[in-house]
Amino acid sequence: MTALKVDNLSYTYPTGTKALCNITLDIQEQSTVALLGSNGAGKSTLMDLLLGWKPSANILLFDKPLKEYGRKELGRFIALVPQSEHYNFSFTLLEYTLFGRAPYLAEMGSPSDEDVHLAYEALETVGLASYAHRSVTTLSGGESQLVLIARAIAQQSKVLLLDEPTSSLDPANRRKVIDILQALHAQGKTIIFTTHDAPFAYELATHVAMLKKGSLLCFGTKERVVTSEMLTTLYETDMTVCSVGGRTLIY
Ligand code: ADP
């Protein structure tokens, strides 16, 4: 089934900047899509549109126009993992992860024992359950990224959008995030993430979309579209994709 269908989508900011031009994407359920593009290519604008933060009549989510979803209903279908979060309040990790359950709560309702259990389980999945009662303000950058992922896991949405999930991580935490996202993919999630890291994209994604100056350069399985020629065109700098001992290297 198609999870997200983007049909001839264009977006122009009120300032007159044309950020996206005639984008068409068919994202199948249970695929993992990497969105590649230089700064200013339109990745964030596309993510905002997919989250319903900017209005569009050209996006279908599981065959239903995105604009017809209610706010809470949408939260049960799509979760966002932002690049980073500024914590204004000293919530514990468990309290913060519980925000992921908001789409399931009644107006002014409190989380149930089941919600608390799911939030705790999400912290276990990212390896932070032992910190459940620590304040989010005490976390390192890597731990903070993992809590954002835990909140999205607790949200139990079908689709996960991640904005540069490994951009500020050291190699060990980067590996951890890759392993977690691969496990979520194996559980049937549809995952869409932006990144500047082509090797990371290649390792994690099943499909790759390349955006250049607001237009879609290509979209397809990673084996088909991630080539030296495509990456060199995308980034306007020499890039090489080669196969060594059965592994694909990009440099
Ligand atoms: P990316 O995420 O790939 O770096 P963006 O989607 O942020 O790209 O930006 C795409 C284009 O839209 C850029 O030319 C950027 O300057 C412009 N843009 C982004 N946000 C705004 C805004 N709020 N108002 C006007 N133009 C914007």
Q: What is the pLDDT of residue 218?
A: 97
pLDDT in 10s for each residue of the chain, 251 residues: 999 999 999 999 999 999 999 999 999 999 999 999 999 999 999 999 999 999 888 999 999 999 999 999 999 999 999 988 888 788 999 999 999 999 999 887 888 999 999 999 999 999 999 999 999 999 988 899 999 999 999 999 999 999 999 887 888 888 999 999 999 999 999 999 999 889 999 999 999 999 999 999 999 999 999 999 999 999 999 999 988 888 888 88
Alpha helices (H) in 51-112, listed in sequence order:
71-77, 93-98
Q: What is the pLDDT of residue 248?
A: 86
Nearest ligand 1 atom to the CA of 46 is: 6
Ligand 1 contact, 43 CB (< 6 A): yes
Q: Judging by DSSP bridges, how do beta strands 159-163 and 190-195 pair with one another?
A: parallel
How many of the other CB atoms lie within 10 Å of CB of 31? 19
Q: How far apart are CA 67 and CA 52, in angstroms?
A: 7
> Which of 44, 56, 193, 212 has most ligand 1 atoms within 8 Å of CB, for mutation?
44
Q: Hey, where are the domains in the chain?
A: 2-77+157-250, 86-156
The first and second tokens of residue 91, run together, are 């919530």
CATH 3.40.50.300 fits 2-77+157-250, yes or no: yes
- Tell me the CA–centroid distance for residue 1 and ligand 1, in Å: 31
Nearest CA to ligand 1 atom 11: 19
The first and second tokens of residue 182, run together, are 């691969």
